[in-house]
Amino acid sequence: MARLSIDPGRLRHRLTLEKPRLLADGAAGGFEAGEALFALVEPAGPVPVEDTGFAMPGQRLTVTLRFRPGLAAGQRFRFGDRLLVIEGAFDPDETGRFLRCLCREEGR
């Protein structure tokens, strides 16, 4: 598999990783802010129309960042006043150097 070529200077968007906070009873209790990181944020197209026929607000984005373990669907990035919900994360060239996250912008 070919190595992904990314200029580290393109990882210039400052994001804050937010993880779901669980309450004592195991229910979701909002999100807690985690570490700040730098990434490349690129549009990946509109959120598709659901079977209901109504368009969802926002758009899909691809977030590329240096590899870090523990990123998972359901976490989100705060990007200024925007919230980018992680739908999936993968290592695009399986070298452990970068992660690519498929995100959906929430409620804009």
Establish if 70 belongs to a structural domain: yes
Establish if 3 belongs to a structural domain: no
Establish if 40 belongs to a structural domain: yes
At 85 the pLDDT is 95
Establish if 64 belongs to a structural domain: yes
Q: Identify the domain containing residue 15 by its residue range.
A: 8-47+56-106
Q: For every one of its 108 residues, what pLDDT tens digit does the chain have, with 9 covering 90 and above? A: 667 677 888 999 999 999 998 777 766 678 999 999 999 999 987 766 665 555 556 689 999 999 999 899 999 999 999 999 999 999 988 889 999 999 999 875
* Number of residues in the chain: 108
What CATH number is attached to the domain comprising 83?
Answer: 2.40.10.270
Establish if 26 belongs to a structural domain: yes
- What is the tally of structural domains in the chain? 1
Q: What is the pLDDT of residues 15-41, one digit of tens each?
A: 999 999 877 776 667 899 999 999 999
Query: Phi and psi for 72 in degrees, rounded to 5?
Result: -150, 160
Compute the distance between CA of residue 53 and CA of residue 21 in angstroms, rounded to an integer. 33
At 6 the pLDDT is 79
Neighbour-count burial for 72-95, b at 16+ CB within 10 Å, e otherwise: eeebbbbbeebbbbbeebeebeee
Whole-prediction pTM: 0.82
At 44 the pLDDT is 87
Establish if 1 belongs to a structural domain: no
Compute the distance between CA of residue 20 and CA of residue 93 in angstroms, rounded to an integer. 28
At 40 the pLDDT is 96
Residue among 57, 71, 58, 95 at smallest CA distance from 15: 71
At 1 the pLDDT is 60
Establish if 75 belongs to a structural domain: yes
Establish if 37 belongs to a structural domain: yes
41: burial class by Cβ within 10 Å (0-12, 13-18, 19+)? buried
